[in-house]
Amino acid sequence: MDAANTSNPSDKKKFIWLVILLIIAIVVAVVWWWNYRKYVSTIDANLDGSRVNVSVRAMAPLSAVFKQEGDSVERGELLAVLDSTMTEDYRIVSPVDGLIAKQWVVPGDLLQPGENIFTLNEGKKLWVTVYLQETKFDEVRMGQQALFTLDAYPGLTFYGKIFYIGANTASEFSLIPPDNASGNYTKVAQRIPLKISIDRVEGKEKLKANLRLLSGMSANVKIVKE
C-alpha cells in the first residue's frame, strides 16, 4: 500500500489547529505591541465629580426631609427641616445645583453640629479619575490626549485630555499611612492621581441617546503617548 495514502486524518487536524493557534498568538502579540507602543493603559480609573456635604449648625432633631437619593436639586431649594423649637437655623437648603448622592440620616434622628444630612454631586460635570502606576508616570503630561471606555457602555468610546496631575501619590492621604516603622517593608508601586476631561463620545447612536453617566462607574483608560 502507498505510504502517502496511510496518513492519519487526525494528524492533519492537529496541524491545522496548531497553525490557527499560532496565527491567533501572532495577532494577539501584534495588538499588544501596538497598544504598548502607542498608549499608556490602566484599568484603575472611574468617573468622578465634585461633591458637597450639607450639614447642620446646631444640635436638633431632624423633623422632615423633602428630597431623596437621586433627586435633582437647585441652589436654595429646601431639602429638610429641623425641630424649630430647638434652633433658629431649622431650614436646610441646597448650597449648589446638583444631584443628591447620599442621604445619611432619617427623620427623628438627633443631629449634632456639623453632622451631614446629604452629600450632593455638584452640577453635572464629570471627569475620569485615574490612579496611574508610578512606573508609567514619566510618559504622561498635562494636556495629553486620552480615550477610555466604560464597563457600563462597552459600545462607546470617550475622548478627553489630562487636566490635572496630583502633587502627591494617592497613599499619602490614605487612612492607613504608607510609613512602616516595624522594619518589615514590602515595596509596592505607588499610584499617582490624574484627572481626564470628557470632551466627546463616539459609538452607537442608540447608546449615545440613552447615555447616563454616574460618578463611580469603572473606566478603562488609554493615554496617547507623545
Query: Mean per-residue pLDDT for 33-42?
Result: 78
DSSP letter at 108? T
Residues of the chain with CATH 2.40.50.100: 51-122
Query: Mean per-residue pLDDT for 19-45?
Result: 80
- At residue 7, the pLDDT reads 59
Polymer length of the chain: 226
Residue 44's identity, in one-letter code, is: D
188 pLDDT above the threshold of 90: no
Query: Mean per-residue pLDDT for 145-160?
Result: 95
CATH for the stretch 36-48+126-224: 2.40.30.170
Cα diameter, the chain: 109
| Beta carbons within 8 Å of 144's beta carbon, 6+ residues apart | 161, 162, 223, 224, 226
81 pLDDT above the threshold of 80: yes
Residue 180: pLDDT band (50, 70, 90) is low
- At residue 1, the pLDDT reads 46
Going by CATH, does the domain composed of 51-122 fall within 3.50.50.60?
no
DSSP count for the chain of H helices, then E strands: 2, 15
Query: Mean per-residue pLDDT for 93-119?
Result: 95
Set of cell numbers at residue 83: 425641630
User: How many whole angstroms separate alpha carbon 68 and alpha carbon 27?
Assistant: 51
With H, G, I as helix, E, B as strand and everything else as coil, classify residue 69: coil
83 pLDDT above the threshold of 60: yes
With H, G, I as helix, E, B as strand and everything else as coil, classify residue 90: coil
- At residue 9, the pLDDT reads 72
Express each pLDDT in 122-144 by its tens digit.
877 899 999 999 999 998 999 99
Residues of the chain with CATH 2.40.30.170: 36-48+126-224
User: How many whole angstroms separate alpha carbon 35 and alpha carbon 24?
Assistant: 17
Residue 157: pLDDT band (50, 70, 90) is very high
DSSP letter at 190? -
With 0-12 / 13-18 / 19 or more C-beta atoms within 10 angstroms meaning exposed / middle / buried, residue 47 is buried
Query: Mean per-residue pLDDT for 61-88?
Result: 93
CB-side exposure of 77: number of CA atoms within 13 Å?
A: 15
Residue 182: pLDDT band (50, 70, 90) is low
For the ranges 9-23, 96-110, 140-154, the lowest mean pLDDT is seen at 9-23
Neighbours of 207 (CB within 10 A): 14
